[in-house]
Structures are given as structure tokens and as C-alpha cells.
């Protein structure tokens, strides 16, 4: 049969590669004398690993692997240290977090007075009239026993508009000038899917606004970040993640600017983790029109799922629940998008071959999202759509059965029990046994992932292991003990399951020949550690694509 030139060209390229098989197969680096936890069921433990061209060439015992060494190969004695696959954070906001760390006041402080002082200091360096922005404020972590209000902010900074974002990212706290700039007064009605809070006694604004009300402020805040700033943000957060053993992160709320920032950072050599970049539904039309869909890209920067948002947040207690919050009999949380909207956007993405990831925290939010996914599959069945349930926090037996049937992927918060323990009482002891339900997911062969949701949650993988294994917070309270999993399971959740969630389980997530050389060297073995001190295990080195991205 006549062969087209392009086809011939292609075969020619393959032939050229095969001319140098021995060249390709010589290890550049051999790590040996290690305690290697491979997360590969066929060969769970190994001593040595050979690396070439950013990939793993071979894994095995010291003798066999050292035997592969040619004179030029570097050898590194691990001194018996433990090696795990690099961690995959399957739901995080690295690009936005990097920018925040670059420009905003870090309000992760323990009193309102401390926050006021930090804002005052930033205001003094900010030209009059320009916005002072803060992030990582957490009303449950200040000693005052009450949330920040408009008077606190007016007292601290009277002549700059101030907006402080809650750690959870769904609520904001503003001063009077900020409300003025946003065109909001005491009588402004709540926007659809949002809330502007008032003092119940006086009816005046109390400073807090939630969910879609944020976008009113977004329009008033000048977006002054340059393309370089975005790249710098990725560079900054790259270093922070690498230090903790993370080699991949799923950017859960990506925009075209984020996608560009990842590419720019990669080009400048500053991208130290692999980014699976979700695209917010607002950009889906132009993405589809350009012929883009999930999976486009390469192992460093790849297009992820389309992101939808169904309900509110766990840390700010706005997740939509079927039964009210403890002590707040009329509060069931918030639905952000309607089922119709979720379906309309979901259908477009589903038909165009996109994976879909929908933020769904409460049992009502998860039920709604599953109904949409079930309908999409019923109307237009697709092979292996890997629907994702971002967070998927509060579950019940019916939801679990439907998740299993759909083959959907939950990405529950990994560090919340440990780090946000003080918020758990709002959900109650009984409900906690059905939240961040890794035990239930794994028992039902549902491939749940490790996910920080940073900034709302901490991203440290060793903290995730401790939180998931002990279900114990920093004060020693145990929350939802029925959902405890083992250290071995938690490691798999944080590695191979994360790879599956981005269709990359054949590329990474375990240490085996042919996969990417992404790994972390730990100071102690998590499998031999007392579970209550897992978080203290030091990360000594992190490698992504055969290159050390962090060395202690």
C-alpha cells in the first residue's frame, strides 16, 4: 500500500531513536542502599533505583542495579533512608497561592490585634487609596473568640480599601472604604448565590461577604499583576511545595493566565512540580473552540478537568448539607450553581471530551453533582470519563454506591482533621464519621486522592498522612475514627491515586521502570513511625524528572 510522506517521516524518527538503544539505557544516576517503598504491588520494596533521561530505568536490589552502572554514572548512597514516589496533591491552588504570597498580607495570625498591626504596616507602605489585601485569615484561629468586623478594619486602616480573604477562600472581610469602592451599602440586596452580612441589631454592613458577593469586589480591585508576577508566583510556590516532597499538583481553579504562568515558569526553569491545570468553566467555550481538551500538554504542564462549583466550603461552614450545622438549626449552607447550570456547562465539556471536576462538599452538593454526572453518562455515554468530585466531604451509603458505579474520583481534604480540628465540632461527632471518608472510599475500591486545597488547607504530605491515619487534631481530639486508614494506604492515596485522577497512572505515582523519576527521600520511615509524629518526619530531598528540586 502507498504510504503517505508524513507517515514515512514518522517511522523514520522512530528508526533514528532505535539506533542508540544502549546510549539511552545507561543510567545517569543510581540511588542505592535505600529503603524504597515503590507503591508497585508487583515489587513493593527495593534497595536501588537507576535513572536516565528523567525516567526510571530500573528498580531492584543493590547488586542488580549497581551492576547496570557504566563508568560515567553517578552513584548516591542513601544510607538506608526511605524513598517514596513524589507526592501528588490532587486539589490545590498553587498559581493563586504563589501570587498571594508575593503580594498580600499573610493573615494566618492568632489575634485580631496582630492582624490589625500587619495591615497597618502594609498600609504605611501602600500609596493612599490603593487596596490593601490579605489572605489566610481564619476566624477560628484567633484568640478573640469572635470574627473580624468592619470596625476592626476601619480602625486599623481608614484610608485604604481593605479586603481580607478567609483561609477557606469563600468569604471576605472588608472595611468601609472597600464596600464604598465596590458600590455596596447597607441596603444592597444579596446577589444570586452570595451573601452580604449585616449586624442583626443595626442592619448595617458588618464587613463580611460570602461566595458570589466576592465578584462585586473583584470588579473594583485593579488586577495589577504582570505576566512576570504570575511567573514569579509559580516560582515561589514551586519552592514551597518541593520542600515538602510534592512533585505534582492539580491546579484546581485554573485560568488561561495560570496556564500561561506555568508555561513561563517551566521555560525559565522555575517550575519544580508538574501542573495538571484545571480550567474554570467560564473559559470553556473558548478552550473548546480552540480544539483544546483535557490531556493536552506534556508531563510538566497539562490541561486538566473543567472546574465547576456546586456548593460552599467546609472550613467556612457554607457547604450545603441535608441536616443543619450543629447549634445553627436553620443553617444548611449554600448552593453556588444550580443543577441546570452545572448540567449546561457539564454537557458542553463532556461532549468535547473534557474531564469534569465539580466542587461538592456537602451531601446535598454531592448528590446534585452526581445527578448531573449520571445524566451526562446516560445521555452520552463516554468511555472512562473519570468524573471528579472535588472535596466530596460529607457522604452517605447511597452517595458512595453511586460514586462507585460511576467510577468517579473523590478528592477529600487530607489535612483538615489535623489542621482544622477546631472547626470539626460544627459538623458533630456522628457526621465526622462520614466526612473525609477515606476508609469508606478505599473499602469500596474508589480511588480517592490526597488533596490539600491550599491555601484553605495545609499541603504538607506528612501532615496528610498523620491526619488520615490518626484522625486526630493538634489538641488530641479524635474526629471520625471510623475513617482511619493505614500509613501504607495513605501513601498510595497520596501517590498512585493522584496519578490516576489525571489519567497519568502509567506515567507516575509509583517507582517502577519506565515511569518518571519523581521521588522523595525522607529522614525516617513513615511505616515504622509512631503515627502521632508522622508530621515531624523531615523531607531530605525531592526529585522531579531526575532533577533534585529540593535538598535539605
The footprint of Zn ion (CB under 5 A) covers: 252, 453
For Zn ion, the closer of residues 152 and 211 by Cβ is 211
For Zn ion, the closer of residues 95 and 252 by Cβ is 252
User: 100: closest CA among 44, 39, 167, 54?
Assistant: 167
> C-beta of 168: minimal distance to Zn ion in Å?
9
For Zn ion, the closer of residues 357 and 385 by Cβ is 357
> C-beta of 467: minimal distance to Zn ion in Å?
17
**DSSP one-letter string for 240-294:** HHHTTTEEEEEETT--HHHHHHHHHHHHTT---SEEEEEEEGGGHHHHHHTT--T
User: 104: closest CA among 79, 78, 132?
Assistant: 132
Pairing of strands 48-52, 29-32: antiparallel
For Zn ion, the closer of residues 149 and 315 by Cβ is 315
For Zn ion, the closer of residues 453 and 512 by Cβ is 453
CA distance 170 to 316: 7
> C-beta of 345: minimal distance to Zn ion in Å?
17
- Over the range 143-168, which residues count as b (16 or more CB within 10 Å of their CB) and which as e? eeeebbbbebbbebbeebbbbbbbbb
> C-beta of 452: minimal distance to Zn ion in Å?
9
For Zn ion, the closer of residues 251 and 529 by Cβ is 251
User: 301: closest CA among 249, 350, 232?
Assistant: 249
3-state class percentages of the chain: helix first, strand second, coil last, to nearest 5? 35, 20, 40
> C-beta of 85: minimal distance to Zn ion in Å?
23
> C-beta of 252: minimal distance to Zn ion in Å?
4
For Zn ion, the closer of residues 47 and 449 by Cβ is 449
> C-beta of 395: minimal distance to Zn ion in Å?
18
CA distance 89 to 462: 12
> C-beta of 391: minimal distance to Zn ion in Å?
7
282 φ, ψ to 5°? -60, -25
CA 270 to the chain's CA centroid: 19
For Zn ion, the closer of residues 279 and 521 by Cβ is 279
Residue 449 near residue 305, CB atoms below 8 Å: no
Amino acid at each position: 500500500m502507498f504510504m503517505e510522506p508524513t507517515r514515512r517521516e514518522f517511522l523514520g524518527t522512530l528508526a533514528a531513536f532505535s539506533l542508540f538503544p544502549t546510549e539511552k539505557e545507561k543510567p545517569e544516576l543510581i540511588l542505592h542502599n535505600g529503603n524504597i517503598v515503590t507503591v508497585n504491588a508487583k515489587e513493593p520494596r527495593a534497595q536501588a533505583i537507576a535513572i536516565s533521561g528523567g525516567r526510571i530505568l530500573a528498580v531492584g536490589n543493590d547488586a542488580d542495579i549497581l551492576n547496570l552502572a557504566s563508568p560515567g554514572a553517578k552513584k548516591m548512597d542513601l544510607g538506608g533512608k526511605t524513598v517514596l514516589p513524589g507526592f501528588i496533591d490532587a486539589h490545590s491552588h498553587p498559581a493563586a497561592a504563589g501570587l498571594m504570597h508575593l503580594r498580600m498580607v499573610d493573615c494566618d495570625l492568632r489575634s485580631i490585634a496582630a492582624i490589625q498591626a500587619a495591615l497597618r504596616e502594609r498600609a504605611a507602605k501602600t500609596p493612599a487609596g490603593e487596596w490593601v489585601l490579605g489572605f489566610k485569615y481564619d476566624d477560628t484561629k484567633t484568640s478573640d473568640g469572635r470574627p473580624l468586623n468592619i470596625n476592626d478594619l476601619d480602625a486599623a486602616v481608614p484610608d485604604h480599601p481593605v479586603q481580607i480573604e478567609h483561609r477557606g477562600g469563600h468569604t471576605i472581610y472588608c472595611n468601609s472604604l472597600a464596600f464604598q469602592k465596590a458600590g455596596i451599602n447597607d441596603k444592597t440586596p444579596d446577589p444570586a448565590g452570595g451573601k452580604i452580612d449585616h449586624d442583626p441589631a443595626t442592619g448595617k454592613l458588618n464587613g463580611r461577604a460570602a461566595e458570589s458577593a466576592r465578584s462585586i469586589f473583584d470588579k473594583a480591585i485593579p488586577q495589577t499583576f504582570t505576566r512576570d508576577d504570575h511567573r514569579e508566583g509559580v516560582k515561589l510556590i514551586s519552592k514551597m511545595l518541593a520542600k515538602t516532597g510534592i512533585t505534582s499538583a492539580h491546579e484546581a481553579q485554573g485560568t488561561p493566565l495560570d496556564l500561561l504562568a506555568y508555561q513561563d515558569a517551566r521555560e525559565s526553569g522555575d517550575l519544580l512540580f508538574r501542573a495538571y491545570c484545571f480550567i474554570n468553566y467560564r473559559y470553556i467555550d473558548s478552550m473548546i473552540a480552540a480544539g483544546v481538551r483535557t490531556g493536552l500538554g506534556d508531563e510538566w504542564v497539562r490541561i486538566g478537568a473543567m472546574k465547576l462549583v456546586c456548593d460552599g466550603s467546609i472550613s467556612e461552614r457554607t457547604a450545603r448539607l441535608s441536616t443543619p450545622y450543629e447549634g445553627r438549626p436553620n443553617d444548611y449552607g449554600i448552593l453556588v450553581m444550580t443543577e441546570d447550570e452545572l448540567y449546561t456547562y457539564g454537557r458542553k465539556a463532556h461532549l468535547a471530551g473534557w474531564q469534569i471536576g465539580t466542587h461538592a462538599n456537602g451531601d446535598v452538593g454531592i448528590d446534585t453533582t452526581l445527578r448531573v454526572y449520571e445524566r451526562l453518562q446516560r445521555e452520552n455515554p463516554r468511555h472512562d470519563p473519570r468524573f471528579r468530585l472535588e472535596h466530596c466531604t460529607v457522604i452517605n451509603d447511597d452517595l458512595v454506591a453511586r460514586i462507585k458505579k460511576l467510577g468517579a474520583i473523590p478528592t477529600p481534604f487530607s489535612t483538615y482533621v489535623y489542621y482544622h480540628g477546631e472547626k470539626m465540632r460544627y459538623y458533630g461527632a456522628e457526621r465526622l464519621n462520614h466526612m473525609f471518608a477515606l476508609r469508606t472510599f478505599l473499602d469500596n475500591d474508589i480511588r480517592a486522592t490526597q488533596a490539600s486545597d491550599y491555601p484553605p488547607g495545609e499541603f504538607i504530605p506528612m501532615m496528610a498522612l498523620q491526619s488520615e491515619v490518626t484522625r486526630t487534631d493538634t489538641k488530641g481530639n479524635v474526629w471520625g475514627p471510623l475513617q482511619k486508614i493505614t500509613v501504607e494506604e495513605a501513601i498510595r492515596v497520596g501517590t498512585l491515586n493522584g496519578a490516576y485522577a489525571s489519567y497519568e497512572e502509567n506515567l507516575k505515582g509509583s517507582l517502577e521502570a519506565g515511569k518518571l523519576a519523581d521521588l522523595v527521600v525522607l529522614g525516617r520511615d513513615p511505616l515504622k513511625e509512631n503515627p502521632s509524629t508522622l508530621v515531624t518526619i523531615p523531607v531530605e530531598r525531592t526529585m522531579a524528572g531526575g532533577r533534585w528540586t529540593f535538598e535539605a
